[in-house]
Chains A and B, each alone.
Chain A
Amino acid sequence: MRQRLEPNRREFLKKCAAGAMLAGGTHGLPAFFSAREKTRVVNAHDPLLRGAGSSLDSGRLLKMLDRSVQALYATDSPLEAWKKVARPGEVVGLKVNGLAGRGISTSVLLVEVVCARLQDAGIPQKDIVIWDRLNADLESAGFRNATRQDHMRCFGNDTLGYEEDLATYGSVGSCLAKTLTQVCDAVINLPVLKDHGIAGVTMALKNLFGAIHNPNKYHLNVGDPYVADVNMLPPIRQKVRLHICDATTAQYEGGPSYMPQWTWRYNGLLMSRDPVALDYTGWQILEQERAEKGMKSLRALGRAPDYIATAADPNHRLGTNDPSQIEQVEV
């Protein structure tokens, strides 16, 4: 896998397919609604991400993150890109996934380098909130809970609880986490690339189940259409600006729990502003790994994540799952 450091905009454009369009506006809904524009998914890799050992190299991870965000936003520098993600004065939530403990959760190191770049972009520590469903999940994934308002915060939904108003869309009715509705102005979604025994896969779309009070109700029918419907709830749709899927370690079977025998070191990140395109891309990566290991496809097992297609349908328009409309950029 080719490794490139600090690509500038010219190099990036050279690398991209001819005619590829730049990503959409600064904030708000992404530009993938335009039929003329492709949606971009950055697939970042660094085979030397762990050096000779098993631990991630923070320097290389930071560089991989920089390459990714620069490629996604087509900017001359990472800082320029991060300034498009959030503005000073906004509270930025980092929605991690800590359910499976340290083995296959959003890596603390990745969150640290994202926080570092946000601060470089003018977001003070006090305006950064790392959150997930439960304090216990965060702790088991290696995060330390913190609620002091003058520092970086880190807490589960069980700290602030859920709204009393029921938000509904399509088949779902849920109370949303106050962390999302009352604390965060913008959200960066940081899921993990992994298999899910009921929902097929869990990445960008499914990770937002961590923002509702009743996720256990929405795993029927392989999560379809529930996952798509949850992502339509206005605070989720309006506030989530970027998806960075932690693929440093990925799991192709046995999820969402950590099953070390089915994990592999992908040593990468997937980044997109389009959760549907990201999930579609990640799903194909998992299927490829399953095939290489001689395992049946998720479709053959009756747990293909069709909610990804539903999220792209005319009733949702959360992104695209059409490969011809997805511009995959490898960095």
Chain B
Amino acid sequence: MSKTAHTRKGEASFSSDGPRREQEANDALPCDSVLASLSSLGASEHDRRTFLKLAGVPCLTACVGSCMAGWPSLALGAGSAPAEDSRFIVEAQFYEKLPYKKIRCKLCPRECVIDDRERGYCGVRENRGGSYYTLVHSRVCAAHIDPIEKKPLFHFFPGSLAFSVATAGCNVNCKFCQNWDISQSRPEQVRNAYLPPKDLANLAQQNRCPAIAYTYSEPIVFYEYMRDAAEAGHALGIKSVVVSGGFIQQDPLKKLCRDVDAIKVDLKAFSEKYYKEVVNGELKPVLEALVTMRKLGMWTELVYLVVPTLNDSDAEFRALAQWVKSNLGAEVPLHFSRFYPQYLLKNLPPTPLETLERAKAIADAEGLHYVYLGNTPGNAAENTYCPKCRRIVIERIGFAVKEMHLRKGKCEYCQQPIAGVWQ
């Protein structure tokens, strides 16, 4: 009856045969060596100048945080600013004032009604005297330089780097979360650095990253920071990409779509039951958000984490593929990703490769043009194939692009346009 388990915060949370042995999983925080570097720095107060100094010297910084996959990471200091630092606290953009100093959050479909001095489900937005504030503006708890393929975005500037940042907090609580130590924490419970939008954009530029990625936790909960950072990035010619669960209301989504350049959505299943029991969210608003993104011309890719026995039936794969084709279009990339046991789902095995291949076969048969397998390094389904001539137009090994056979967004063999944002 009693089900006690232990997962350690900041500990490598993959099983021994998990992907970190060879390569990090999609959207996972980089590996333990980053945390080791934090430990060595973390005991002392780490001010903004030190942070920028470290972050601004890519060669040095990359070495500090280099991980098995070879991607650089940036060091953040522990407690670099006090919890009540007013620099982090900015009035939230979407909420409604209610009687008796209560508020209703209008950012995500959960619509938390929050008493004075209380926070919403995300843990990073607080009612103070009847006004609602984000506590994580410019309050970055993770900053790494990742290949854009790790997000994964396969049709958006392939082979480029994304300056990837996160704050604490999330508006769902997936039982399989690989970054739960930041996503399920409050900002004062994790190490943070002050990184205002312009400094973030500058760092991306200095590190030759054409894009900033808002990722690892759930960027919707640091919505205000994300929009401000995207604006600062655009001023320097830097794109912004969002890695999200897509659990957001329509109004904030529409405004966000004006500011960012691509969104990768984790479509966690194609059933409300799974969303309720495993995600603590709802499917319907996510589907509505996806339709809106596409209507607004946002470049969108989907990831579907295949969890054995929970969302891996043929019927669900088929229904998903049919819905994507009819509502988003056959050219929207769909990544079936491999699950590894962690956080609150340690009782299930990793996804068998055969299951992933079955999912891909079904989606291919339904007519989707770009179906990938993720967290399966070396698999041929990591490559992009021309939907017309079936030749490889982008060859990948893990997160690295080995060869590209695209010319101005077209297959160089048959001139078939390949959907995506290429230049």
Point out residues on A near B: beta carbons under 8 Å: 99-100, 158, 161-162, 164-170, 173, 175, 197-198, 213-214, 216-217, 219-220, 232-234, 254-257, 259, 315
Contacts and interface: CB of A to CB of B under 8 A. Distances in A.
A257 B115 CA distance: 6
Given A158-B188, A166-B5, A168-B4, A216 B122 contact: yes
Interface string B206-220: 000000000000000
Contact of A197 (B5, B115, B343): B115
Nearest to B343: A173
B85 to A, nearest CB: 14
A256 B118 CA distance: 9
Contacts of A166: 5-9, 180, 343
B344 A168 contact: yes
17 contacts: A164-B8, A166-B8, A167-B4, A168-B3, A168-B4, A168-B344, A170-B3, A173-B343, A173-B344, A197-B113, A216-B121, A216-B123, A217-B184, A220-B280, A234-B4, A256-B118, A257-B117
A213 B6 contact: no
B5 A315 contact: no
A254 B2 contact: no
Contacts of A198: 113
A165 B3 contact: no
Given A162-B189, A175-B9, A216-B120, A169 B4 contact: yes
Contacts of A220: 121, 280
A5 to B, nearest CB: 39
B147 to A, nearest CB: 29
A96 B47 CA distance: 35
Contacts, number: 81
A216 B1 CA distance: 25
A216 B343 contact: no
B250 interface: no
Nearest to B169: A216
A158 B173 contact: no
A50 B83 CA distance: 39
B186 A213 contact: yes
Nearest to A315: B1
Nearest to A173: B344
B8 A165 contact: yes
Contact of B123 (A164, A165, A214, A259): A214
B57 to A, nearest CB: 30
B350 to A, nearest CB: 20
A168 B119 CA distance: 23
A253 to B, nearest CB: 10
A321 to B, nearest CB: 19
Contact of B121 (A165, A217, A255, A256): A217
A165 B118 contact: no
Contacts of B8: 164-166
Contacts of B115: 197, 255-257
B190 to A, nearest CB: 10
Interface string B327-346: 00000000000000001100
A254 B100 contact: yes
Contacts of A161: 189
B116 interface: yes
A233 B3 CA distance: 9
A211 to B, nearest CB: 14
A39 to B, nearest CB: 21
Interface in B178-231: 180, 184-186, 188-189
Interface string B264-281: 000000000000000010
Contacts of A173: 5, 7, 180, 184, 343-344
Contacts of B173: 217
